[in-house]
């Protein structure tokens, strides 16, 4: 037992010695530490504080380096260089709502906002003195940092200016787009929407297209089967082709097909599949399709020429209804007693204070529309005088119509151009040229080389043979007592009162007309042969053309300038038609060159006889609309969209029109 007790006593001594060392070691350390010495030295207190700060900073850096990577420390240093050392107080003030403690009554930032104004002023003053709390060293920018901060501010200002300019540009684009959208015609938008609806459905009328494709391929294989001697397949294809052509007929949509046609499509599909297995040869099929395409192209060109010829022919002819009307009126006129063939108010025909119109026409219905539309829209019809001139064939009909349908209080007179004895071949160059052998050959011998081709077809119009078309160059001779006269074509419709035209100052010119050179093809070089030196010397190829159809003529200036003599001069020089082709516009452009006053375009709108895209607002605002071109409103080829402007002035309920089957 004794040995065990001694071993227990010996084991307690090392434990007590270790505990004593743990208690005494810190005391010895702080006793020997220089901090105590520095603290006791009152004269070196500043130096001591700097040493303490340096020591703490080094310790902190060591701790940070052990906690964060080098990249994180670089970020902290760069941010510190820009905005100064981090402050816990500033962090608290700028703390976002998502970092605030849930359940707290108010954040530091909220308390700061609710502080009195004197505290705010105090903080501002403190901010001027320094941004850091007492005990921290004052932080200042180095010159490099200050320069960097200035460059950053300049870049920010420059970028802000660029953004403002971009915003202004975007606003301008948006405004221009808005204005453009306002100017877009709603009718155009409607057409576009309709077009989209038609094409959004890819399967629209797919059955008709399938049948057409089958017919094309059947024709291809039919010719190949005949070439290779496959008689049985040839007969099958021929029989099925005829059936498909009968089924398709004139159909252009699936709705026009019959339910039984679908069975025909299936049968044709089986026959074509069989033909493909037996006869398909890529080279042969391609050659046949190319030949069919070439044939179709030649047929299209032929049909286009035929269409041009027929349209020109239709423009020359008079519809049966109008011819019937003229014949019936003529018969009834010559059955009238002589005393009933006179018009009232004949004393107004030479009164220069009234509004006088010149109308030269051989179309009774067209002339009636011109007179009727003018009177309906006139403010005082009693001051309007109409001078109608027609040919011998239509003289009785024209008189009879206006005797039966007098133009209200207006004055009207009808004359026969064949009774103008002064208008003969010795005085008028056109009449002399029309009597020449070359002109007769040009008009009446179809086998002549000059008559071939559709380009010359329109110049063989019978109106160019009629003096009614050339009488416009002899107005002072026809109406010697008048000072001004308004010339109207018979294919126009009057929509407004025209008396304002007599008040227009022509500035010493003879002709007042609306110019038509909005497009390049309406200038002088379109109508005259500028390869001829006589034309090139006297006229400007870029001079603006103007329109016949509504022209105000000053007959006093006409006589002074000898306009008719100028016309005769150029007409004599063009006997062989080398200066211009036939017609009255080219010699009119030459005769009134430099003597034409441009009228406002709203007085006269053209194109209703050939242009399908005349703006509807221009038509509605026009004083006169003109159906110049081949598609006259009294013809079947007239454009339906414009015809109502003309038909509203036709009395379709009149017995003569009913008997001749003239209807709207």
Q: Using one digit for the tens of pLDDT, what is the confidence trace for 495-545?
A: 999 999 999 999 999 999 999 886 545 788 888 989 999 999 999 998 999
User: In terms of pLDDT, which residue wins out, 238 or 109?
Assistant: 238
Q: Supply the pLDDT for residue 350.
A: 93
Q: Supply the pLDDT for residue 471.
A: 93
pLDDT of 104 > 60? The answer is no
Q: Supply the pLDDT for residue 25.
A: 57
pLDDT of 184 > 80? The answer is no
Q: What is the pLDDT of residues 631-658, one digit of tens each?
A: 999 998 889 999 999 999 998 999 999 9
Indicate the average pLDDT of the chain.
78
- Angle between helix axes 231-248 and 261-279 (nearest 10 degrees) is 150
Q: Write the CB contacts of 98 (distance below 8 Å, at least 6 apart in sequence).
A: none
Q: What is the mean pLDDT of residues 292-307?
A: 84
Within the chain, all domains assigned CATH 3.90.550.10 are found at 320-448+457-660
Q: Which residue has the tokens 């460059």?
A: 151
pLDDT of 88 > 60? The answer is no
Q: How big, in percent rounded to 5, are the helix, strand and coil portions of the chain?
A: 60, 5, 30
Query: Binning pLDDT at 50, 70 and 90, where does residue 308 land?
Result: confident
> Quick one: which of 355, 349, 358, 315 has its CA closest to 550?
358
pTM of the predicted model, to two decimals?
A: 0.59
Side-by-side strand order, sheet with 484-488? 411-416, 384-390, 355-360, 484-488, 550-554, 511-513, 596-598
Q: What is the mean pLDDT of residues 326-355?
A: 93
Q: Topology of 320-448+457-660 in CATH?
A: Spore Coat Polysaccharide Biosynthesis Protein SpsA; Chain A (3.90.550)
> Which residue pairs from 334-341 have beta carbons closer than 8 angstroms and sit at least 24 positions apart in sequence?
334/396, 336/400, 336/403, 340/403, 341/399, 341/403
Q: Write the CB contacts of 375 (distance below 8 Å, at least 6 apart in sequence).
A: 381, 384, 407, 408, 410
Helix or strand run (H / E) with residue 389: strand 384-390
Q: What is the pLDDT of residues 499-508, one digit of tens each?
A: 999 999 999 9
Q: What is the mean pLDDT of residues 117-134?
A: 44
Q: Supply the pLDDT for residue 13.
A: 56
Instruction: Count how many residues are written for the chain.
Output: 664
Where are the alpha helices (H) located in 377-486, listed in sequence order? 395-404, 429-434, 437-444, 475-478
Say which range, 232-236, 359-363, 645-649, has the weakest mean pLDDT.
232-236
Q: What is the pLDDT of residues 186-224, one digit of tens each?
A: 444 443 343 344 444 445 678 888 888 888 998 888 888
Helix or strand run (H / E) with residue 360: strand 355-360
Say which range, 163-167, 173-177, 253-257, 294-298, has the weakest mean pLDDT.
173-177
> Quick one: which of 241, 366, 219, 214 has its CA closest to 289?
219
**Are the C-beta atoms of residues 529 and 578 closer than 8 Å to each other?**
yes
**Are the C-beta atoms of residues 565 and 527 closer than 8 Å to each other?**
no
Burial 2-36 (b: 16+ CB within 10 A, else e): eeeeeeeeeeeeeeeeeeeeeeeeeeeeeeeeeee
Q: Supply the pLDDT for residue 449.
A: 45
% the chain with pLDDT above 90: 35
The region that residue 650 occupies, defined by phi over 0 for left and psi between -120 and 50 for alpha, beta otherwise, is beta
Report residue 477 as tokens. Answer: 């001779």
DSSP code string of 183-204: HS-HHHHHHHHHHHHHHH-TTT
% the chain with pLDDT above 70: 69
User: In terms of pLDDT, which residue wins out, 585 or 89?
Assistant: 585
Q: What is the mean pLDDT of residues 39-46?
A: 50
pLDDT of 48 > 80? The answer is no
């Amino acid at each position: 037992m004794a040995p065990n007790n001694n071993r227990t006593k010996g084991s307690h001594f090392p434990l007590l010695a270790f505990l004593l060392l743990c208690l005494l070691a810190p005391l010895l350390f702080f006793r020997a530490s220089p901090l105590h010495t520095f603290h006791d030295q009152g004269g070196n207190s500043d130096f001591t504080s700097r040493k303490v700060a340096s020591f703490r900073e080094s310790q902190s850096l060591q701790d940070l380096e052990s906690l964060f990577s080098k990249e994180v420390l670089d970020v902290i240093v760069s941010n510190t260089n820009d905005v100064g050392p981090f402050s816990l107080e500033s962090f608290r003030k700028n703390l976002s709502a998502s970092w605030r403690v849930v359940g707290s009554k108010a954040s530091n930032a909220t308390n700061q906002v609710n502080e009195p104004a004197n505290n705010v002023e105090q903080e501002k003053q403190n901010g001027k003195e320094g941004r850091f709390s007492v005990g921290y060293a004052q932080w200042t920018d180095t010159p490099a940092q200050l320069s960097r901060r200035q460059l950053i501010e300049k870049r920010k200002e420059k970028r802000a200016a660029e953004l403002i300019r971009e915003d202004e540009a975007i606003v301008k684009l948006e405004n221009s787009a808005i204005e453009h959208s306002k100017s877009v015609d709603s009718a155009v938008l409607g057409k576009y929407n309709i077009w989209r609806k038609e094409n959004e459905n890819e399967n629209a009328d797919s059955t008709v297209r399938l049948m057409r494709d089958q017919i094309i391929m059947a024709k291809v294989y039919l010719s190949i089967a005949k070439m290779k001697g496959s008689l049985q397949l040839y007969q099958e294809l021929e029989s099925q082709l005829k059936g498909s052509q009968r089924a398709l007929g004139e159909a252009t949509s699936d709705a026009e097909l019959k339910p039984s046609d679908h069975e025909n499509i299936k049968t044709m599909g089986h026959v074509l599949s069989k033909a493909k297995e037996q006869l398909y040869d890529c080279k042969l099929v391609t050659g046949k399709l190319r030949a069919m395409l070439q044939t179709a192209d030649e047929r299209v060109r032929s049909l286009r020429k035929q269409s041009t010829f027929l349209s020109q022919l239709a423009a020359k002819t008079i519809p049966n209804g109008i011819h019937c009307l003229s014949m019936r009126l003529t018969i009834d006129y010559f059955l009238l007693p002589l005393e009933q063939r006179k018009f009232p108010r004949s004393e107004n025909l030479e009164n220069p204070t009234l509004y006088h119109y010149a109308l030269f026409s051989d179309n009774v219905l067209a002339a009636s529309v011109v007179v009727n539309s003018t009177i309906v829209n006139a403010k005082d019809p009693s001051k309007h005088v109409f001078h109608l001139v027609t040919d011998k064939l239509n003289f009785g009909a024209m008189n009879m119509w206006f005797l039966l349908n007098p133009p209200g209080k207006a004055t009207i007179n009808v004359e026969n151009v064949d009774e103008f004895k002064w208008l003969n071949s010795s005085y008028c160059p056109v009449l002399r040229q029309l009597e020449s052998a070359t002109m007769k050959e040009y008009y009446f011998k179809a086998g002549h080389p000059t008559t071939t081709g559709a380009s010359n077809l329109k110049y063989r119009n019978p109106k160019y043979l009629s003096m009614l078309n050339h009488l416009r160059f002899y107005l002072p001779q026809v109406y010697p007592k008048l000072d001004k006269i308004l010339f109207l074509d018979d294919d126009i419709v009057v929509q407004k009162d025209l008396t304002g035209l007599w008040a227009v100052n022509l500035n010493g010119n003879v002709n007042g007309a609306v110019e038509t050179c909005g497009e390049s093809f309406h200038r002088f070089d379109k109508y005259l042969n500028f390869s001829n030196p006589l034309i090139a010397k006297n006229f400007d190829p870029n001079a603006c053309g103007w329109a016949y159809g509504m022209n105000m003529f000053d007959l006093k200036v006409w006589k002074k300038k000898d306009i008719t003599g100028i016309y005769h001069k150029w007409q004599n020089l063009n006997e062989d038609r080398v200066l211009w082709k036939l017609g009255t516009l080219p010699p009119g452009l030459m005769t009134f060159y430099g003597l034409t006053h441009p009228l406002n375009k709203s007085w006269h709108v053209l194109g209703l006889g050939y242009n399908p895209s005349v703006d509807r607002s221009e038509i509605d605002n026009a004083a006169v609309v003109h159906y110049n071109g081949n598609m006259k409103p009294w013809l079947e080829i007239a454009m339906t969209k414009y015809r109502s402007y003309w038909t509203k002035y036709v009395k379709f309920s009149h017995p003569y029109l009913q008997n001749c089957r003239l209807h709207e």
